[in-house]
C-alpha cells in the first residue's frame, strides 16, 4: 500500500481487511427484495468490468483500494445487486425500497458480495431506501458483507438515498458518487448495530452547480467498530457539499470519522461544510474524528467542526425533574442527538419508523 | 380546620457537594395546601439553592435537617420520584434539549410519572387535547409544540414554557425559581396570570423572586426574606412592597446574622 492508502486505512485492523478475501468464508447470495411504486430497476449485479471502467483513472486511487479490489475480484456470477436506470426526465414516484437479507451459512463463516449501480439521467429523480437486515441466527458474527455502489448523476438529476445498516455482522461498503452539472445527491446512512463497519464514500463533483449532502448517524456499543470515511472532491467551481455525521459510542466501542474535503485549484466559489459530533458514554469507548481539508482554490467557503463530548448533565437533571427516570432521560437525549439526521431526511415516510428503531436500539445500551 | 400540609422544612442545612461550602444554614418553612409563599432576598442569599435542594439537584448535599413532602421524607427520594409525587421546579434557566420535541418530552414525562404512580399511560388523543387546553393558559398556541425543548426559544418563551409544563403536570407543589427575571411586562403578565389560574385549594406554590412586581399579579399569603441561608423574617403580602421601597438593609440590621 502506498502512503495515501495507508492513511486511508490507518485505524482499520489488518485481520478485518483479510475477511474481504477468501478468509471471510464461502460466498453466499444476498437475498434481495424490492418494492417500488414506479421505478426502473433490475435485480442484477453490475458487472465488474463496467465498474472497473468507472474507477479507472479516477483521482481517488481507486485501483489500489483494497475494498474495491476485493469486491471486483469476485466473479459476476457470484455477486448480487440492484441496477437502477432512470431515463432522462424520469421522476420516480414514491420510494424504492430495497431489502438486503443475509440468510447465513449455518454456523460457518459466510461472505456476501454486492455490486449496485444507480444511473440517474438528465433531470431524473428518485428516492431510494435501502435496509440491510440483521444477518440470520448463529451466522451473524461470522458474516462478512461487501457492498459496492456506483452512482452516476447526470445534469440536473436528483437522487436521495437513505440506508439503514443493522447487520450485526462485518460490513464493508464503498459508494462511488459522480455528479454532473446542477445535480443533487443526498445520502443518509444510519449505522445501527454492526460488529464491524467500514464505509468509504468517494464523491466527485465534476461540473459546476452540483450539490452533495452526506449525513450519517452511528450507534455503537460492546466491542463494535464503526468507521466512516469520506472523500469529497470538488473538481469544478460553484459546487456545494455538506457532511453531517453524529455518533454515539458506549462500552468498549470504537467510532471513527474521517472527512476529507479536496478543493481543486480551479474550483472557485466552492462551499464545503463538514460537521462531526460524538457522544462518548463510557471511559472505555473511543472516538476519533479527523477533518482533512486540502484546498487549492482561493475563493472558497469551507467550514469544519468536530466535537466529542459526554451527555449534558443539566439536560438530564431537567428531564428527571419532570419525572423522567435517569435511564430514559439519557436515552431521550441520545435520541434527540442522533434524531437530527433522520429529521433532515426528506423521506418523511420513514421518519417515524427510524426514530422507533433508534429508540429500540438504545434500550440495550 | 387545619388545611392539609404540603411541605414542612425543619432546620435545613445544605452545602455545595464538591466544595463543602455551606449555603443553607437552618431553614424552617411550612407550606399548606391552597397557599402561595413568596421567598425574597438579596443575591447570594440561597434562594435558588433552596429550590435546587428541594428538587434534589446533586450539586448540593443536605448536611442537616428534615424535609417532609405530603407527609413523606422528601430527602430520601430520587429527583424523578419527587417529580412523580408532585414536586415541580420552574427553572431560572430552562435547559435546551436539542432534537427532542416538546411533545415527545412532555408525553414521556407524563407517562413516566403515571407509571411511577401505577397508572395507565395517557392516550394520544387525551394528550393532544391536554396540550391544546393547557397551552392556552400561557398563550403559547401550537407553535412551540413541535420544536425542540427550549431550543431557540426567546427568554419569555422559555419562562412561559415552564408554566405550560407546570400546567401539564399538575403538581402538588410548584417552586418557581425567579420565573419573573428577564421578562418584559407582557410576558410577566402572562406568566403570572398562568400561575394564578393554576392555583387550587389542594396545591401550593412557592415563588422565588427578586422583585416585588411579580407579586402584583400573584398575591402571596406569606412573604419570607432569606438572608445568608436562613429565613430572617416572614410577614404578609405588604412586606413585599415595603422591601421594594426600603430594600433589605433595614431587615438585615434588625433580624440578620446575629442569631
> Residue B2: what pLDDT?
57
CATH of the domain at B59: 3.40.50.300
DSSP string, A55-96: HTT-TT--TT-HHHHHHHTS-GGG-B--EEEEPTT-B--S-E
Percent of chain A surpassing pLDDT 70: 95
pLDDT digits (tens, 9 = 90+) for A331-364: 999 999 998 888 877 666 778 888 888 888 888 7
Answer whether residue B246 is part of any domain. Answer: yes
Q: How many H helices and E strands in chain B?
A: 8, 12
Cα B253 from Cα B259, distance rounded (Å): 12
Task: List, in order, residues 6 or more apart from B185 with CB less than 8 Å away.
Answer: none
Would residue B223 count as lying in a domain?
Answer: yes
> Is pLDDT of A37 > 80?
no
For B99-155, write each residue's pLDDT tens digit.
899 999 999 999 999 999 999 999 999 999 999 999 888 887 777 778 899 998 988
Cβ pair B105:A319 closer than 8 A: yes
pLDDT digits (tens, 9 = 90+) for A121-151: 999 999 999 999 988 865 556 889 999 999 9
Range of the domain at B80: 5-93+151-255
Task: Tell me how far apart the alpha carbons of residues A352 and B3 are, in angstroms, rounded to a whole number.
Answer: 48
Least CB-CB distance to B80: which of A323, A333, A336?
A: A323
CB atoms near residue A215 (< 10 Å): 21
| Residue A311 DSSP SS3 | coil
pLDDT of residue B22: 94
Q: What is the C-alpha radius of gyration for chain B, rounded to an integer number of angstroms?
A: 18
- For residue B40, report the phi and psi dihedrals to the nearest 5 degrees: -120, 170
The cell 395546601 sits on which residue? Answer: B33
Q: Which of A57-66, A242-251, B80-89 is the least confident region?
A: A57-66
Q: Is B192 on the interface with A (CB under 8 A)?
A: no
The whole-angstrom distance between A308's CA and the closest CA on chain B is 16
Distance CA A230, CA A274 (A): 10
Spacing of C-alpha B38 from chain mean position: 10
Q: What is the pLDDT of residues B31-81, one digit of tens each?
A: 999 999 999 998 889 999 999 999 999 999 999 999 999 999 999 999 999
Q: What is the pLDDT of residue A139?
A: 54
Q: Which of B83, B98, B165 sits opposite A337 (nearest CB)?
A: B98
**Using one digit for the tens of pLDDT, what is the confidence trace for B178-214?**
888 878 888 888 888 888 889 999 999 999 988 788 8
Is B165 at the interface with chain A, CB within 8 A?
Answer: yes
Quick one: which H or E segment has residue A111?
strand A110-120
| Chain B residues close to A333, C-beta within 8 Å | 97, 100
What Rg, from alpha-carbon coordinates, does chain A have? Answer: 20
- Selecting from B89, B100, B148 the residue whose C-beta is nearest the C-beta of A321 gives B89
Integer CA distances (angstroms), B173 to A152, A287, B60, B112, B170, in order: 62, 44, 20, 18, 9
Q: How close does chain A come to B148, measured CA to CA in Å? A: 9
Burial label for A251, CB within 10 Å (0-12, 13-18, 19+), is middle
CA distance to partner chain A, nearest, from residue B88 (Å):
7
pLDDT digits (tens, 9 = 90+) for A17-35: 877 877 677 888 888 888 8
* Cell reading at B165: 409544563
Our count of domains for chain B comes to 1
Q: Which of A25-34, A54-63, B109-118, B230-239 has the lowest mean pLDDT?
A: A54-63
Task: Give me the half-sphere count of Cα atoms (radius 13 Å) on the Cβ side of residue A189.
Answer: 28
Dihedral in degrees, nearest 10, Cα atoms B156, B157, B163, B168: 180
- Residue for grid cell 394564578: B196
Reply yes or no on whether the pLDDT at A36 is more than 80. Answer: no
> Which of A322, A326, A356, A363 to probe by mutation at the B interface, max B CB count within 10 Å?
A322
User: Is the separation of the CB atoms in B229 and B247 below 8 Å?
Assistant: no
For chain B, the first-to-last Cα distance in angstroms comes to: 33
The percentage of chain B sitting over the pLDDT mark of 70, rounded to a whole number, equals 98
Taking one residue from A and the other from B, the number of pairs with CB-CB distance under 8 angstroms is 77
CB contact under 8 A, B79 and A317: yes
| B103 alpha-carbon distance from chain centroid | 22
Say what the pLDDT of residue B1 is: 45
Query: Is the pLDDT confidence value at B156 over 90?
Result: no
**Residue B119 forms part of a structural domain:** no
Q: Report yes or no on B109 lying in a domain.
A: no
A269–chain B nearest CA distance, Å: 31
Of B167, B105, B161, the C-alpha closest to B130 is B167
State the best of B99, B102, B107, B110 to mutate against chain A, taking most chain A CBs within 10 Å: B99
- Chain A hits for B95, CB-CB cut-off 8 Å, are 312, 314-315, 317-318
Which residue does chain A place closest to B106, by CA atoms? Answer: A322
Please give the C-alpha separations between residue B174 and each of A210, B37, B167, B199, in angstroms, as whole numbers: 55, 10, 10, 10
| pLDDT of B228 | 93
Q: Which residues of A touch B110 (CB under 8 A)?
A: 323
List, for residues A259-289, the tens digit of each pLDDT value: 999 999 999 999 999 999 999 999 999 999 9
Q: Are B22 and B14 in contact (CB under 8 A)?
A: yes
pLDDT at A203: 96
Can you give the pLDDT at residue A361?
A: 87
- Grade residue B259 by pLDDT with cuts at 50, 70 and 90: very low
Shortest Cα–Cα distance, A284 to chain B (Å): 25
Instruction: Please give the full DSSP string across B33-97, using - where no structure is assigned.
Output: TT-EEEEE--TTSSHHHHHHHHHT-TTEEEEEEEEEETTEEGGGS-HHHHHHTTEEEE-SSPPPE
Q: pLDDT-based confidence at A2, cuts 50/70/90?
A: confident
Q: Which of A323, A325, A332 sits opposite B100 (nearest CB)?
A: A332
Q: Do B99 and A336 touch (CB under 8 A)?
A: yes
Under the phi-then-psi rule, with left for phi > 0, alpha for psi from -120 to 50, and beta for the rest, what region is B247?
left
Is the CB of A320 less than 8 angstroms away from the CB of B79?
yes
Nearest CA in chain B to A343: B99
Contact yes or no for B96 and A315 at CB 8 A: yes
The complex's ipTM? 0.95
Instruction: Report if residue B111 sits inside a domain.
Output: no
CB contact (8 A) between residue A317 and residue B95? yes
Question: Between B191 and B258, where is the model more confident?
Answer: B191
pLDDT at A165 over 60: yes
* Strands B22-32 and B72-73, sheet pairing: unpaired
Using a CB–CB cutoff of 8 Å, tell me whether B105 touches chain A.
yes
Q: Which residues of B touch A343 (CB under 8 A)?
A: 99
Query: Looking at the domain assignment, is residue B155 inside a domain?
Result: yes
Give B92 to chain A, closest Cα distance, Å. Answer: 11
Q: How far is A275 from chain B (nearest CA, A)?
A: 16
Residue B31 located in a structural domain: yes
Question: Cell 476519533 belongs to which residue?
Answer: A288
Q: Which of B55, B148, B165 lies at the smallest CB-CB distance from A336?
A: B148
CA distance A193 to B46: 48
Instruction: Say yes or no: B60 contacts chain A, CB-CB below 8 A.
Output: no
Q: What is the mean pLDDT of chain A?
A: 90
Residues A337, B99: C-beta atoms closer than 8 Å:
yes
Residue with cell 449534558: A312
Residues of A in contact with B79 (CB under 8 A): 317, 320-321
Whether B144 contacts B102, CB under 8 Å: yes
Q: How many residues does chain B have?
A: 259
Interatomic CA distance for residues B67 and B245, integer angstroms: 33
What does the H/E/C string look like for B118-168?
A: CCCCCCHHHHHHHHHHHHHHCCCCCCCCCCEECCCCCHHHHHHHHHHHHHH
Q: What is the tens place of the pLDDT at every residue in A294-314?
A: 999 999 999 999 999 999 999
Query: Which burial class, exposed, middle or buried, applies to B194 when counting CB atoms under 10 A from its CB (0-12, 13-18, 19+)?
Result: buried
Q: Are strands A31-35 and A96-101 parallel, antiparallel or unpaired?
A: antiparallel
CA distance B86 to chain A (A): 9
Residues 6+ apart with CB under 8 A from A38: A92, A93, A94
Query: Closest partner residue to B112 among A318, A325, A336, by Cβ?
Result: A325
Amino acid at each position: 500500500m502506498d502512503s495515501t492508502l495507508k492513511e486511508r486505512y490507518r485505524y482499520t485492523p489488518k485481520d478485518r481487511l483479510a475477511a474481504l478475501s477468501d478468509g471471510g468464508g464461502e460466498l453466499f447470495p444476498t437475498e434481495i427484495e424490492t418494492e417500488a411504486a414506479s421505478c426502473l430497476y433490475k435485480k442484477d449485479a453490475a458487472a465488474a468490468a463496467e465498474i472497473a471502467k468507472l474507477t479507472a483513472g479516477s483521482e481517488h486511487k481507486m485501483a489500489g483500494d483494497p475494498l474495491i479490489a476485493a469486491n471486483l475480484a469476485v466473479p459476476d456470477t457470484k455477486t448480487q445487486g440492484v441496477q437502477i436506470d432512470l431515463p432522462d426526465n424520469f421522476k420516480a414516484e414514491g420510494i424504492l425500497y430495497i431489502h438486503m437479507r443475509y440468510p447465513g451459512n449455518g454456523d460457518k463463516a459466510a461472505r456476501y458480495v454486492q455490486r449496485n449501480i444507480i444511473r440517474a439521467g438528465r433531470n431524473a429523480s428518485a428516492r431510494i431506501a435501502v435496509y440491510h437486515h440483521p444477518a440470520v441466527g448463529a451466522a451473524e458474527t461470522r458474516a462478512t458483507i461487501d457492498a459496492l455502489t456506483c452512482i452516476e448523476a447526470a445534469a440536473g438529476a436528483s437522487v436521495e438515498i437513505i440506508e439503514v445498516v443493522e447487520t450485526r455482522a462485518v460490513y464493508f461498503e464503498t459508494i462511488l458518487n459522480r455528479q454532473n452539472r446542477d445535480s443533487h445527491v443526498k445520502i443518509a446512512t444510519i449505522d445501527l448495530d454492526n460488529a464491524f463497519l467500514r464505509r468509504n464514500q468517494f464523491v466527485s463533483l465534476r461540473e459546476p452547480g452540483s450539490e452533495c449532502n452526506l449525513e450519517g448517524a452511528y450507534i455503537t456499543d460492546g466491542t463494535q467498530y464503526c468507521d466512516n470515511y469520506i472523500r469529497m472532491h470538488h473538481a469544478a467551481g460553484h459546487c456545494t457539499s455538506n457532511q453531517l455525521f453524529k455518533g454515539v459510542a458506549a462500552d468498549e466501542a470504537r467510532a471513527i470519522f474521517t472527512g476529507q474535503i479536496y478543493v481543486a485549484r480551479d474550483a472557485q466559489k466552492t462551499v464545503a461544510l463538514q460537521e462531526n459530533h460524538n457522544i462518548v458514554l463510557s471511559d472505555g469507548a473511543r472516538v476519533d474524528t479527523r477533518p482533512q481539508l486540502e484546498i487549492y482554490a482561493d475563493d472558497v467557503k469551507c467550514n469544519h467542526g468536530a466535537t466529542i463530548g459526554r451527555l449534558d448533565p443539566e439536560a438530564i437533571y431537567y428531564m428527571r425533574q419532570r419525572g423522567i427516570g435517569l435511564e430514559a432521560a439519557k436515552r431521550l437525549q441520545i435520541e434527540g442527538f442522533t434524531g437530527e439526521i433522520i429529521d433532515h431526511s426528506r423521506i418523511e415516510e420513514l421518519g417515524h419508523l427510524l426514530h422507533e428503531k433508534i429508540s429500540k436500539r438504545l434500550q440495550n445500551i | 380546620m387545619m388545611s392539609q400540609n404540603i411541605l414542612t422544612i425543619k432546620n435545613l442545612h445544605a452545602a455545595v457537594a464538591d466544595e463543602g461550602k455551606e449555603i443553607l444554614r437552618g431553614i424552617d418553612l411550612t407550606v399548606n395546601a391552597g397557599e402561595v409563599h413568596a421567598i425574597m432576598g438579596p443575591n447570594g442569599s440561597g434562594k435558588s439553592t433552596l429550590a435546587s435542594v428541594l428538587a434534589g439537584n446533586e450539586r448540593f448535599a443536605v448536611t442537616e435537617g428534615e424535609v417532609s413532602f405530603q407527609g413523606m421524607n422528601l430527602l430520601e427520594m430520587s429527583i424523578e420520584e419527587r417529580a412523580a409525587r408532585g414536586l415541580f421546579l420552574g427553572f431560572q434557566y430552562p435547559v435546551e434539549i436539542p432534537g427532542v420535541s416538546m411533545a415527545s418530552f412532555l408525553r414521556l414525562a407524563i407517562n413516566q410519572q403515571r407509571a411511577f404512580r401505577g397508572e395507565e399511560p395517557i392516550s394520544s388523543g387525551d394528550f393532544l387535547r391536554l396540550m391544546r387546553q393547557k397551552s392556552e393558559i400561557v398563550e403559547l398556541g401550537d407553535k412551540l409544540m413541535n420544536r425542540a425543548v427550549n431550543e431557540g426559544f426567546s427568554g419569555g418563551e422559555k419562562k412561559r414554557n415552564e408554566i405550560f409544563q407546570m400546567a401539564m403536570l399538575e403538581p402538588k407543589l410548584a417552586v418557581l425559581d425567579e420565573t419573573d427575571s428577564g421578562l418584559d411586562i407582557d410576558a410577566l403578565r402572562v406568566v403570572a396570570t398562568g400561575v394564578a389560574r393554576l392555583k387550587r385549594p389542594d396545591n401550593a406554590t412557592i415563588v422565588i423572586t427578586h422583585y416585588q412586581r411579580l407579586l402584583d399579579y400573584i398575591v402571596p399569603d406569606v412573604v419570607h426574606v432569606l438572608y445568608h441561608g436562613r429565613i430572617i423574617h416572614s410577614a404578609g403580602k405588604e412586606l413585599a412592597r415595603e422591601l421594594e421601597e426600603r430594600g433589605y438593609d433595614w431587615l438585615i440590621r434588625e433580624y440578620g446574622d446575629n442569631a
